[in-house]
Chains A and B, each alone.
Chain A
Amino acid sequence: MWAARHGVETAAALRFGSLARRMRQAGAPEALVELSARASQDETRHASRCTDILRMRQAEVPPPETRLLEYAPLTLTPEQRLTYEVVAQSCVSETESMATLVTLLDEARDETLKSVLHELARDEVQHARLGWGYLTWARDRMDLAFLAPLLPVMVNGSAGPDLFRPALPGTDEPSLYQAGVVPHSERQRVYLETLESVVIPGMTEYGVDIAPLRLWMDRQHAALAPDALGA
């Protein structure tokens, strides 16, 4: 898990750097541009924290991500693509990461782990706020309605292919908390609760229709229901 997080952090460092440049070109407030540039540095530092933890556990440190990965559909306009990337990164991915960190901080006992989680959470708050702040600026300049049918695509990509599949052996043990990992079934719950409590009211605040996202969530809830009934 920490090896995967190392990849997430190094990829995010490149993405935030790119977003800072693109936001500046788009004329976004300097506060947002600076925040994105600083987020890029934060993510590089976070990757080094992941490296520290991997080395402490004598685990292999993967090579950093070197590709600038972008996810927006090519059919969108340049302004829409920038908005898509900011929303996917900050309003979805970083917002969900904050929920994960909050969950881990409630459970962590090891002082070293708690210290790392606190450091990451302090930064991730700003990384998530960046997206919501960007929408405040963007909504007066463009119609954000185009985001509605794309939100399920974003949250599905952010969740990854395995989150709403049955837990693999050893991935749903409560003891994982002490390794800085949220057990699988709790990850599913936290992900959906964060969409319900933060992303949906946030998007509603910005006038984005959340009906398509609700349909996606309903499908995930339905897929999880048999497990819940059998528990």
Chain B
Amino acid sequence: MKIKKLFQVLVLGGATLGLGVAACGGSDGSNTGGGQQQTLPDGGHPTPGGPPGW
């Protein structure tokens, strides 16, 4: 698959989800408790940014 095709697959493919169209499959909703609230070593908030990817 070419990277350009990801626009169609991800952006256009995802748009319908926001319209309330049911997603496939189900979920037991595990891990939705949020885990531990962020606690950095210095007790502060992480620098604004984004999570790393692959």
- A-B residue pair count with CB separations less than 8 angstroms: 209
Q: Is A129 within 8 A of B48, CB to CB? A: no
How many angstroms from the CA of A198 to the CA of B6 in the assembled complex? 6
Q: Is A202 within 8 A of B11, CB to CB? A: yes
Neighbour of A69 across the interface among B17, B22, B33, B38, CB < 8 A = B38
Interface residues on B, range: 35 or more
**Contact mask for chain B residues 40-53; partner A; CB cutoff 8 A; 1 contact, 0 none:** 10000111111111
Q: Is A14 within 8 A of B14, CB to CB? A: no
Residues of chain A within 8 A of B52, CB atoms compared: 4, 8, 93, 157-158, 160
How many angstroms from the CA of A97 to the CA of B53 in the assembled complex? 5
Given A14-B35, A68-B38, A100-B53, CB of A153 within 8 Å of CB of B48: yes
Q: Is A21 within 8 A of B32, CB to CB? A: yes
**Contact mask for chain B residues 9-28; partner A; CB cutoff 8 A; 1 contact, 0 none:** 11111111111111101111
User: Residues of A with Cβ closer than 8 Å to B?
Assistant: 4-5, 8, 11-18, 20-21, 24, 29-32, 34-35, 37-38, 40-41, 44, 66-74, 88-89, 92-103, 105, 125-126, 128-138, 150, 153-158, 160, 190, 193-194, 197-198, 201-202, 205
